Amino acid sequence: MINKNAKIYIAGHRGMVGSAIWRTLEKQGYTNLIGKTSKELDLRNQQDVLEFLEAEKPEIIIDAAAKVGGILANNDFPYQFLMENIQIQNNLIDGSLKVDVKKFIFLGSSCIYPKFAPQPLKEDYLLTDSLEPTNEWYAIAKITGVKTCQAIRKQFGKDYVSMMPTNLYGTHDNFDLKSSHVLPAMIRKFHEAKENNNANVVLWGSGTPLREFLFVDDLAEAVVFALDNELPEYLYNVGTGTDLTIKDLAELIQKVTGHQGEIEWDSSKPDGTPRKLMDISKMHDLGWKHRVELEDGIRKTYNWFLENIENYKEVKL
């Protein structure tokens, strides 16, 4: 197990994932956590990142930093999603090797797997077929990170491991309708429609794709599990192992928010990958399992949204 006084740098500690990891580590008694805001340290700048790592000399790095977004954002800004993510992770991974970081945990996404890979998605399916076009730029960047950590593990024998979470949601999520993922976007849409005399809610696609969702605190628990144990392989899926249709998700969020209007589906908009369910047997076999079920997680997330709603009032439907 890692010493509770070990210096741990969490890249992206202000984001939904990074802040959840920070909270979880603090709760479990880790006392020497480091974080830098994007204004304090531009992770896209190689020299700045290397100088920071040389000065701080962290024993462990958790890479939760990334440029992220939904279908619309990925489609509109392919270059930024490819280049900025590669810059961020390359600077952190290469810098970690140069300053002899003991353990590196790289966080990616289930979108690294091929669009039509067999379900559920096994780690072995990586690079076996073509990607989903709506987010291939982000996926290619994350695949690069996975393979870079694998190369270091193979060549230098260092404990660098990649963890690929399924679709994440939770407190500190992004509810901006132009850049958010499906679950937080739905929470905001249903809430604002309820406030607008239960107006109808228009959602993208057919509602038929199947998706899996993991509460972000469960991912944080998986990361701490990876700190406390030396995982024998280079790549692990992290999820719940169950999925539901987008239509069922919409109806669940409608129930939680109390919206009484109708749901309309705009089939002219893309669905994305037909199904994306993770095979999480490797993590289960090691002893980790999620704790928060979907409806409970949505309630926690909706309550947090209501407590922080002033931050989102500037953009209306």
Q: Is 191 within any annotated ligand binding site?
A: no
Q: Rounded to whole angstroms, how far apart are CA atoms 164 and 139?
A: 11
Distances from the Cα of 147 to the Cα of 90, 93, 130, 143, 234, angstroms? 11, 11, 17, 6, 9
Q: Is 188 within any annotated ligand binding site?
A: no
Annotated active-site residue 138? The verdict is: yes
Q: Is 101 within any annotated ligand binding site?
A: no
Query: Which token pair is 213?
Result: 């969702």
C-beta of residue 2 within 8 angstroms of C-beta of residue 60:
yes
Q: Rounded to whole angstroms, how far apart are CA atoms 234 and 249?
A: 32
**Strand-pair category, 244-245 with 210-211:** antiparallel
Q: Is 166 within any annotated ligand binding site?
A: yes
Q: Is 142 within any annotated ligand binding site?
A: yes
Q: Rounded to whole angstroms, how far apart are CA atoms 239 and 216?
A: 10
Q: Is 277 within any annotated ligand binding site?
A: no
Q: Is 95 within any annotated ligand binding site?
A: no
Q: Is 67 within any annotated ligand binding site?
A: no
Q: Is 153 within any annotated ligand binding site?
A: no
Distances from the Cα of 215 to the Cα of 168, 171, 258, angstroms? 6, 9, 21
Candidate list 113, 138, 160, 236, residue with the active-site label: 138
Q: Is 108 within any annotated ligand binding site?
A: yes
Q: Is 204 within any annotated ligand binding site?
A: yes
Q: Is 259 within any annotated ligand binding site?
A: no
Q: Rounded to whole angstroms, how far apart are CA atoms 232 and 309?
A: 43
**Strand-pair category, 60-63 with 103-107:** parallel
Q: Rounded to whole angstroms, how far apart are CA atoms 292 and 300?
A: 10
**Residues in binding site:** 12-18, 107-110, 142, 165-168, 181, 189, 204, 211, 271
The residues that are catalytic are 138
**Residues in binding site for NADP(+):** 12-18, 107-110, 142, 165-168, 181
**Residues in binding site for substrate:** 189, 204, 211, 271
